[in-house]
Copies of this chain bind each other. A is one copy, B any other.
């Protein structure tokens, strides 16, 4: 069916919308693809809905091709299953909750792990039934604190979420790998530039978890990549390369110094460098001990935790939280210091921690044999040459220090640089958390139950429309990849005389008959307006039927490159069919 601009429900805007923060939002609104109807809530106008459905189709085709089976759950979900897993509480204000007329609690589903696990438990029972992978393409809801950037971060959005169910870890690894391959195929088909980054899997530690991040200047997610290799990772997932351990026997003895008024690293370093100790100190020579209180899930009380890290690094709270997840963590407050008088603020050292049973985790750079300036557990005193493994023994290491540009890449090749991206996919070896919660077992060949292990995998379908727009536009408008474009050809009638109009109509009809999706600009506005709209709308190929028709040619323009060519009228259908199928 030919889409006629004269009747298409579309009004392009010459001006940028006032509330648009990023290019994709600006252009999708200006080109009439989406409209905001509430904070984080958008309507899809005809062209936008076509692109959304095209993205959805690509995702569905690849999910089907990998053997995943599509089902669909309601978005309005009862509280009970989420109560069983604790997520009703854990989500806090991030989900929409409501009561029905009888006062029963419901939520608008942010993800559906619970329902998938319960459904598989309801249908399947034998080891012979497994593995199975199910998916849905579903409207999801999250009550974002700050919905922003148009459909990039809405409160109602379309997601493909899938879940694999396997009998053992090897099966899960295979399902995970299959999803990884499928996601690569999806994002490649969509023409996206993206990286796959290691993602922290927190308490589920050891489980594989990776994020697909589309590269985007305005992306919300930061990650690091190597200058010299394809290493890329979420900051939370960066593993600090530890220097080699050193001998402890060749170090000078630890010595306590009176360092009055040096509770800060900078003050301490200044003091040491004027104290005639015979060497120069930097912040990297000091060991900063940060005191935290940690609450394990379900626990009433918090316990103290000390993190030791080189004084030139700050604690990165997101890395710290990821390392301790699912425990909650907070910095000590004055009252906590008061309640633990052995903690001499500004002068805390490993000695008092060990003497008082405080768990002590250190940055991986704090290796055996390394010598540090650190607190002497006495006001205005520090100890120099306190050697790890000789003078103190940490309880382990923790990834809590900030990652900086220029740090060595964990894979040994090059150094790290920061980059920004937008999460478009996430694959995660979830393990047995939900199977445990609901008792999801298969009966094995020996009639013994086998606890199922799950993977969870998501693609942000509606977000992808914005991500593609974010990566593919220019000053004049959108530039859609052919796989998702709202049409194949944007045919402009550039002339008022009947021959031109009739020629364009005939060409549109022939293209339509040949299976080419045509937007025909049959409006009575000026060619200039039509050209501007064609560039803004961003269909990959723009065909202009105008004066050249008298010489038997029409102009075919590539939206992305701007290249134009005159093509003989009697060859143009074949030419365009060739382009569409290329």
Contacts and interface: CB of A to CB of B under 8 A. Distances in A.
Contact of A43 (B32, B46, B72, B143): B72
Contact of A77 (B32, B41, B98, B118): B41
A156 B38 contact: no
Contact of A73 (B11, B37, B97, B122): B37
Contacts of A41: 74, 76-78
Q: Which of A39, A72, A96, A115 has the most CB of B within 10 A?
A: A72
Interface string A1-15: 100000111110000
A100 interface: yes
Contact of A115 (B9, B11, B43, B52): B43
Interface in A196-230: none
Contacts of A37: 73-74, 77-78, 115, 118-119
A73 B41 CA distance: 8
B96 A97 contact: no
A502 interface: no
Interface in A70-107: 70-78, 93, 96-98, 100-101, 104, 106
A42 to B, nearest CB: 7
A390 interface: no
Nearest to A52: B72
Contacts of A104: 39
Contacts of A45: 71, 123
Nearest to A96: B98
Contact of A156 (B76, B118, B155): B76
A72 B51 CA distance: 12
Contacts of A11: 123-124
Given A64-B1, A93-B101, A96-B98, A9 B134 contact: yes
Interface in A40-79: 41-46, 49, 52, 64, 67, 69-78
A145 interface: yes
A110 B60 CA distance: 28
A11 B121 CA distance: 11
Q: Tell me how many chains of this kind the complex includes.
A: 2
Nearest to A38: B78
Interface in A168-199: none
A106 B37 CA distance: 12
A254 interface: no
B71 A43 contact: yes
Given A49-B71, A156-B76, A9 B132 contact: yes
A248 interface: no
A38 B96 contact: no
A106 to B, nearest CB: 8
Nearest to A141: B76
B38 A76 contact: yes
B96 A9 contact: no
Contacts of A64: 1
A123 B35 CA distance: 10
Contacts of A139: 75, 139
Contacts of A141: 76
Nearest to A138: B139
Contacts of A553: none
A108 interface: yes
B132 A43 contact: no
A483 to B, nearest CB: 20
Interface string A374-393: 00000000000000000000
Given A11-B124, A123-B11, A76 B155 contact: yes
Contacts of A155: 76, 100
Contact of A132 (B7, B75, B97): B7
Contacts of A71: 9, 43-46, 49
Contacts of A134: 9
A75 B72 contact: no
Contacts of A123: 9-11, 32, 45
Given A11-B124, A132-B9, A43 B73 contact: yes
Nearest to A107: B98
Contacts of A96: 76, 98, 100, 106
Contacts of A78: 37-38, 41
A7 B165 CA distance: 13
A403 B46 CA distance: 46
Contacts of A46: 69-71
A70 B49 contact: yes
A119 B78 CA distance: 33
9 contacts: A35-B122, A37-B118, A41-B74, A41-B77, A41-B78, A75-B75, A96-B100, A100-B155, A139-B139
Given A39-B104, A139-B139, 18 more contacts: A1-B64, A7-B132, A8-B69, A9-B123, A9-B134, A11-B123, A35-B119, A38-B74, A38-B77, A39-B100, A41-B78, A43-B73, A43-B74, A46-B71, A49-B72, A76-B141, A96-B100, A100-B155
Interface of A: 1, 7-11, 32, 35, 37-39, 41-46, 49, 52, 64, 67, 69-78, 93, 96-98, 100-101, 104, 106, 108, 115, 118-119, 122-124, 132, 134, 139, 141, 143, 145, 155-156
Going nearest first, the 8 A-B pairs with the smallest beta carbon separation are: A98-B98, A41-B74, A93-B101, A44-B72, A38-B78, A11-B123, A74-B156, A43-B73
